[in-house]
Chains A and B, each alone.
Chain A
């Protein structure tokens, strides 16, 4: 706690940098609000609100997907994990990238060809509408709320650290600010506004990361081996720092847990509703393919840079300083920026710290807007229009319902985020991936590729996968029993793994299969013909 850098970020004396950080962040907010108002003026039909008019290009959507996907957890979390645990942080990042191949090869194009606005459009296509729409809506809202809650609470912690705000009132104010901005982006700008916010954020994030990466590499003469060597030595862990095991390899259970996490990441991405609805913003399946390719390139390049960022932080900073500032290492990247810019007290350091902090705010805002849009779209289109109004709502009524749902979801997440501000909710992101992989992906794949799939199969798979993941997490060390748990003081954890994927994903697939085979109802052959031909050819696509 003795170096200036740590004191600066940890002890609330960040006031020196506060004006600059706030100015940059304010500029981002003003610019995005302009975009939102502009986009709002062009948002008239339901297709505008839900799908941004389907007029984005593959490249634009690829950027927006990257902006939607790279959360503060992946930006600050992975760099921090590398800074603290070396190789295992890098290992963690790889699942997030490989996952995109599932989206590219199996999901993006068929979904674009056969759906209209939500994940539920594809899940319910062949099935009895009301029960399956209800299930799809429930799962969408659960996944998005878990993810949203993690982001909101994370925003409170992060912003407090970066701005040196320690009071409860200050943290709640930050959560409320994030919530209000996301409500404004989504209700006014709809998908068009949200997409532009995500594109701007992606460009800022890549530019900021590129700058710090370049400066760190410059310091090590672009010699990766030297950088790794310095990181290994400075971490105090020697070559073990460059090998797997420091985080996930500490015990037999932790190894199993990592396998579970890895599977959930790889299979979960293509079942995340806020990612899936992005494929509707382009005109054709070909453009959807192109957007995933751009996203793979951008996200891949970004994770490659986090290697330099994370190991750079380990090489430049004292391990004890990183931990003292934030136990999970979430401030390692901003601290490294400060250090590489010339250290505490230097103008260069102050500017870089402010840039990285502002980028982190932008990141949070873009991600929460995408999540809110996904859940309010599903509420309005799946539950309100197709279940409650049985398909008889007009477009106007549907979009009005989506806007009100946005306000409601926003207010609920502000309240939950404020209540959870001191709980460790980072585990909720992994839970969101597990639910997506256990409840959504099996149903998407069976719907598209298996002719014998039935309504009962879809319901068993969605509700079974959802319930299994949530129940297992509830009784896991994520919620109780460990110092890092949400409620460290109590112990009702009988499930040893933090990630339920290893059990819940096979269960979700199994239930969809068994539920279909045991179904009394014959699958609808005509509907499957429609879905299959549409999904592969784009006939009659919206």
Chain B
């Protein structure tokens, strides 16, 4: 492998045995890994597009819909402030949703593949 110099003897970083490139290709083409990839991508990609779109919508509203944003809801709290705080809320929410998805759906699948490959190597 040309990525890194091999650690010199006595190097402190311990590292599991590296499987061969062939076994990586085999795993990459396996149905089990395909399932892990799909479970990850079908969750993370649309969610990424969604939060970027939601952020852009907020920026565009701030830029071009001043009257709407200035609408007072109660006291001195207007739509602009509520939508801004809404960005905080959705950020926290998405972080939580993703972490739950990862812990429940991704980690077990990833762990299964990892332990088998490292066991084989």
Contacts and interface: CB of A to CB of B under 8 A. Distances in A.
Tell me, yes or no, whether A binds B.
Answer: yes
Interface residues of B, number: 70
A90 B85 CA distance: 10
B4 to A, nearest CB: 6
Contacts of B2: 129, 391
Contacts of A121: 3-4
Contacts of A541: 16
Interface string B46-60: 011001100110111
Nearest to B112: A537
Contacts of A8: none
Contacts of B19: 539-540
Contacts of B102: 109, 289
A296 B92 contact: yes
A400 interface: no
Interface stretch (A155-163, A238-246, A463-471): A238-246
Contacts of B22: 526
Interface stretch (A91-99, A187-195, A199-207): A91-99
B87 A97 contact: yes
A225 B58 CA distance: 22
Contacts of B114: 537-539
A493 interface: no
Given A97-B87, A228-B77, A533-B24, A255 B55 contact: no
Contact of B81 (A47, A242, A525, A538): A242
Interface in A478-528: 525-528
A393 B78 CA distance: 60
A46 B5 CA distance: 12
Interface string B1-37: 0111101100111011111011011011100010011
Contact of B117 (A116, A243, A539): A539
Nearest to A115: B3
Interface stretch (A12-20, A271-279, A297-305, A421-429): A297-305
B95 A292 contact: yes
Interface in B62-89: 62-64, 66, 69-70, 72, 74-78, 80-81, 84, 87-88
A116 B55 contact: no
A259 B61 CA distance: 11
A303 B89 CA distance: 13
B47 to A, nearest CB: 6
Contacts of B63: 244, 248-249, 255, 258-259
Given A243-B66, A542-B15, A266 B52 contact: yes
Contact of B95 (A259, A296, A538): A296
A298 to B, nearest CB: 12
A228 B76 contact: yes
A541 B64 CA distance: 48
Given A90-B84, A105-B48, A297-B92, A391 B5 contact: yes
Nearest to B12: A45
A538 B110 contact: yes
A101 interface: yes
Contact of A91 (B3, B62, B110): B62
Closest 5 CB pairs of A and B: A225-B75, A244-B62, A45-B12, A529-B28, A228-B76
